[in-house]
Structure 1
Amino acid sequence: MTQQSISITETTSHKDKPVSDQLEFGNVFTDHMFIVDYKEGQGWYDPRIVPYQPISLDPASMVFHYGQTVFEGLKAYLTDQGEVNLFRPEKNMERLNRSNERMCIPTIDKELMLHAIKQLVSFEKDWVPNAPGTSLYIRPFVISTEPYLGVAPSKTYKLIIILSPVGAYYKEGINPIKIAVESEFVRAVKGGTGEAKTAGNYASSLKAQEIVASKGYAQVLWLDGLEKNYIEEVGSMNVFFKIGGEVVTPALNGSILEGVTRNSVLQLLKHWNIPVSERKISMDQIYQAYQAGTLEEAFGAGTAAVISPVGELAWQGESLKINNGKTGEVSKRLYDTLTGIQYGREEDPFNWISTLND
């Protein structure tokens, strides 16, 4: 497939666009979407941009029965000059293919995907919101479509990209959130699918999330599935702790998602000569640092929220108040720098930004 082979069918019924400064996250969708199909022996074929619409699938489609599906999430940002920026989209496409490989889904040409995203966003450029902190969320996903009731990889697939103008993921914005450490349920274990961005990982997290939400917590902090002591990640973010001047994040171990924002945070901290390490870290160590007064900051990092400071950790009946429940200096600097680069207001020393014309 060449870049010129993407066909376009324009909608005849345009939707009303939402007010930018009233956007929530993920409940409004643009006029068009991208689709490309796969068939064993033929490969990926018929890439197209079509009006946003329901999809029709056979009830026996394997995605409904065996959960063979993956997805990605990235954003487009409107600059003060009216240009649209993408933040490290090639990293998302690399991760999509790693997820594909883990879930026995055929990989897809990265250049085709990047071209499809840029063409779709260009076509929907008027949907990129302009209010502070808003963006156009980009959701590529793959589903298995072969009608077959047998446990095996599907022979047919559909890859779709949809777009959603969004506001802040957390209503708190850059203000600290409260999260609860999960010690009963398990989301993933080494050797499982935790490092893939696949739907089942999120389905298995819902019960714990439902319980903590009823108690006023924004998210769950997951521990390892064996000892239930080593920190892994928050439901929608990788997690970092600043202890005695050093920033620490759990090392990738096969059950933690390799976040694009996580990677960007690590690069920025090293660029600023702030001590940072990736290693196993336990809740016991976090509690000891809290007791000793050396737990200075905690924050999550992910595409949806960018940087989300953690003001309180609930663990074993105790409430650990971090930095007096206030946003820390490193968290704020990371948020300001990352969003500054994304919206084109700050220098981009790492060449992270792609424009629609690149």
Structure 2
Amino acid sequence: MTAKKNNHARTDRLITTITGWVAGIILIALAIWGISTLFELRKYEETNDAQVEEYINPITARVTGYISRINYEENQDVKKGDTLLIIDDSEYQLQQQEADAALLNAQAQVEVLQSNVTTTAKNADATQSQIAAAKAKLWKQQQEYDRYQKLYEAESATKQQLENVETALNVAKADYQTVINNYDAALSKINDIKSQKAVLAAEIERRQAMLGRNKLDVSYTIIRAPYDGKMGRRTIQEGQLIQAGQTLAFIVNQATGKWIIANFKETQVSHMHIGQTANIEIDAFPGKTFNGTIESLSPATGSRFSLLPPDNSSGNFVKIVQRIPVRIKLTSNVTETALLRAGMNATVAISKKNG
């Protein structure tokens, strides 16, 4: 009986000893972990307020119309220049034809006016020759009249003869003036036609601009990928009416790469600078570390870029630690960064040693 009690006592002491040792080891391990963690925290500035970013640009319609065909699917890879969708261009083709016809009409009017200018100029040249002939005839009649005037004064010619010569002189004067008037009228008509041509030239330029605009509208009915990328969610359907300026889709620009925006507390950024290395952990890939370097630091806190920045002058002031957005360029290889998607949450740690 006594032996059994002694065995139980030894067993209890052994269990107590082992338990004490295990507890001690656990406490020591926790202490080491705590000290190590504290040491690491002192070595790094860390934030889990970070996300993967990538250029996601909207594709907007430049004309209004009905969608006749869609050539892409959600999450599809596309190349620059690929046709994404086509808008019915029937109305825009008609407008282009109307503008083209109006331009041709204006050009035809210019050709008619040019023909009139040529004809009138020829008439003016002919009239100018008539002026010379009429002037010569007038001079001759004037000489004849002067001669008969002297003969009449010398009583060598009758008054009837003098009156006949005077009548012929007046007719020559009238003919000369008529030819002069015809020449002036021809010159005036030429000037009028030139003025009309100038007006039509301006009209042609306007028509050409309208035709160019109509051609642009026709080209805008074919919407192409602006660069290599991956299409986002599709929210439109064939036959749907869209408006100019409406966002039709989103495309992720794969040529510009990805980066991290980490929002550090204002008390953490005093030692940070461009080029400083960063360790990045992505929530979607636990245990995997990505590398990066600081590319830039925001010139203002994130709240200052909001639509309604805080106004502390209102009197309702509560001091809140502000966040400074820090842009981090990913330096890991392309194969690794290809796994990342815009919007993924990340944890970023930046060493204080190279600060």
TM over 0.5: no
Q: Which has the higher contact order (CA 8 A, sep 6+)?
A: 2
Q: Which TM-score tier does this pair reach, normalised by the shorter chain? A: under 0.3
| TM-score normalised by structure 1 residue count | 0.19
Larger radius of gyration between Structure 1 and Structure 2: 2
| TM-score normalised by structure 2 residue count | 0.20
Q: Which has the larger helix fraction?
A: 2
Q: Which has the larger strand fraction?
A: 1
